[in-house]
């Protein structure tokens, strides 16, 4: 096992745990916010499991995803807007719990949890299918078009999985207000996809043909 990579991954996970916990429990004013603990469990336990699998099966991909930094100004803007979206949604969820603004029934929370886990499984499958998957918009050396599995259904299955993850997340937290905030993800990711497809069209051989064959970007029969 690459000890440096392991240390880097663990540091990222611990930092994420502390940040998410801070953003949820401080506004909630209590550690009794059970929805917050539920989200942290379903978010970080699979993340750690996937990280260990990637470390064993594809350490290069894990390293690439841990160290990726956007170079394009358009994508940097997308990252900033996404960060503000999550910040607002988490704080709103904590405040919603503290002040009891709108309470969702538990069955919605549990259904959203199931959707979240399905989204995680789709995300893991995308990682398995595409060794070129990166957190940044780029064309890598020797990259080829992937058109099998989920990539034969939609052109951006990673974003399909993040739709399920991000839009179920506020419902796991029991907050309608946070759900409304997270809807901002739709125009944000639409902008990212527009730029990404232009980069792939210009730099990846065969992508234009693939785009003509697979009509839908994210959601089958819809988008």
Higher pLDDT, 4 or 81: 81
Q: What is the pLDDT of residues 94-120, one digit of tens each?
A: 999 999 999 999 999 999 999 999 999
For residue 203, the surrounding DSSP H or E stretch is helix 185-203
So what CATH class is 3-213? Answer: mainly alpha
Residue 39 confidence class, pLDDT cut points 50, 70, 90: very high
CA dihedral sign, ordered 189, 190, 193, 195:
negative
Q: What are phi and psi of 208, to 5 degrees?
A: -60, -45
Q: Is the pTM of this model over 0.85?
A: yes
Residues 6+ apart with CB under 8 A from 71: 136, 138
How far apart CA 165 and CA 58 sit, in angstroms, is 23
Higher pLDDT, 213 or 136: 213
Per cent of the chain over pLDDT 90 is 55
Residues 6+ apart with CB under 8 A from 88: 181
Q: What is the pLDDT of residues 146-170, one digit of tens each?
A: 888 899 999 999 999 999 999 999 9
Q: What is the pLDDT of residues 58-76, one digit of tens each?
A: 777 667 666 656 555 666 7
Domain limits, the chain: 3-213
- Written as six digits, the tokens of 177 are 């207000």
Q: What is the pLDDT of residues 174-196, one digit of tens each?
A: 999 999 999 999 999 998 898 88
How far apart CA 115 and CA 167 sit, in angstroms, is 9
DSSP 155: S
């Amino acid at each position: 096992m690459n000890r440096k990579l392991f240390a880097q991954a663990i540091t990222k996970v611990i930092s994420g745990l502390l940040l998410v916990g801070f953003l949820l429990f401080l506004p909630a004013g209590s550690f009794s916010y059970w929805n917050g603990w539920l989200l942290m469990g379903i978010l970080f336990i699979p993340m750690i499991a996937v990280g260990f699998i990637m470390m064993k099966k594809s350490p290069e991909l894990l390293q690439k995803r841990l160290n990726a930094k956007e170079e394009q100004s358009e994508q940097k803007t997308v990252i900033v807007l996404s960060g503000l979206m999550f910040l607002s949604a988490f704080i709103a969820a904590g405040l919603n719990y503290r002040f009891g603004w709108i309470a969702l029934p538990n069955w919605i929370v549990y259904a959203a949890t199931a959707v979240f886990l399905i989204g995680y499984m789709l995300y893991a499958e995308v990682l398995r299918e595409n060794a070129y998957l990166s957190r940044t918009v780029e064309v890598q050396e020797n990259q080829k078009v992937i058109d099998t599995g989920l990539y034969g259904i939609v052109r951006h299955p990673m974003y399909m999985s993040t739709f399920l993850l991000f839009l179920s997340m506020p419902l796991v937290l029991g907050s309608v207000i946070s759900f409304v905030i997270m809807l901002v993800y739709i125009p944000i990711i639409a902008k990212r996809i527009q730029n990404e497809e232009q980069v792939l069209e210009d730099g990846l051989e065969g992508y234009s043909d693939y785009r003509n064959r697979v009509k839908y970007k994210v959601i089958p029969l819809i988008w």
